[in-house]
Amino acid sequence: MKSEGEYNKLSSPEVIQFIEDQLTTPIPELVLKGSPFPSIPINLLVNQVVGKNKARKKLPTWHKNPKIIYPPKLNLEQTSSEITARHKSKLIEGDTLIDLTGGFGVDDYFFSKQVNSLTYCEYNSDLFEISKYNFNVLSVKNIKCLNQDSIELLKESTHKYDWIYVDPSRRNKNQKVFLIKDSLPNLLEHQKLLENKSQQMMIKTSPMYDIEAGYKELSGVKELHVVSIKNEVKELLWIIDWRTTSSRNIKLYNYDSQKKYTKNVLQHDGLISSDKVGLSPCLKYIYEFNSSIMKSGLYDRLAIRYGLLKLEQNTNLFTCETLIKSFPGKIYKMNTIETINFKKLKREFKGRFINIISKNIKLTPSNLEKKIGFKTGTDTDYLIFAKTIEGNKVIKATKL
Ligand SMILES: C[S@@+](CC[C@H](N)C(=O)[O-])C[C@H]1O[C@@H](n2cnc3c(N)ncnc32)[C@H](O)[C@@H]1O
Question: Would you say residue 363 has pLDDT above 60?
Answer: yes
Residue nearest atom 13 in ligand 1 by C-alpha distance: 101
* Confidence (pLDDT) at 272: 47
Cα of 148 vs centre of ligand 1, distance in Å, is 11
Buried b (16+ CB within 10 A) or exposed e, 147-164: beebbebbeeeeeebbbb
Ligand 1 mutation target, pool 123, 182, 186, most atoms within 8 A of CB: 123
Q: Please state the rounded mean pLDDT for residues 12-32.
A: 94
Instruction: Give the chain's end-to-end CA distance (angstroms, integer).
Output: 53
Burial class (CB in 10 A: 0-12, 13-18, 19+), 41: middle
Question: Would you say residue 80 has pLDDT above 90?
Answer: yes
Spatial contact of 134 and 105, defined as CB atoms under 8 Å apart: yes
Q: Please state the rounded mean pLDDT for residues 5-23.
A: 91
Instruction: State the pLDDT confidence band at 270, using cuts at 50, 70 and 90.
Output: very low
Q: Torsions phi, psi of 228, nearest 5?
A: -115, 150
Position with higher pLDDT, 177 vs 379: 177
* Confidence (pLDDT) at 399: 95
Q: Please state the rounded mean pLDDT for residues 151-161.
A: 96
Q: Tell whether ligand 1 has an atom less than 6 A from the beta carbon of residue 169.
A: yes
Domain ranges of the chain: 4-70, 80-267, 274-399
Q: Please state the rounded mean pLDDT for residues 56-65.
A: 95
Cα of 102 vs centre of ligand 1, distance in Å, is 5
Q: What CA dihedral angle connects 61, 17, 140 and 157, to 10 degrees? A: 100
Instruction: Tell me the pLDDT tens digit for each residue of 210-231.
Output: 998 999 999 999 999 999 998 8
Ligand 1 mutation target, pool 58, 86, 184, most atoms within 8 A of CB: 184
Instruction: Tell me the pLDDT tens digit for each residue of 104-150.
Output: 999 999 999 999 999 999 999 999 999 999 999 999 999 999 999 99
Residue type for 143, please? I
* Confidence (pLDDT) at 268: 63
- Architecture per CATH, 80-267: 3-Layer(aba) Sandwich (3.40)
* Confidence (pLDDT) at 275: 63
Distance (Å, whole) CA 132 – CA 126: 10
Q: What is the mean pLDDT of the chain?
A: 92
- Whether pTM > 0.75 for this model: the answer is yes
* Confidence (pLDDT) at 274: 54
Q: Tell whether ligand 1 has an atom less than 6 A from the beta carbon of residue 328.
A: no
Q: Tell whether ligand 1 has an atom less than 6 A from the beta carbon of residue 108.
A: no
* Confidence (pLDDT) at 1: 54
Cα of 68 vs centre of ligand 1, distance in Å, is 19
Instruction: State the pLDDT confidence band at 246, using cuts at 50, 70 and 90.
Output: confident
Strands 115-121 and 94-99: parallel
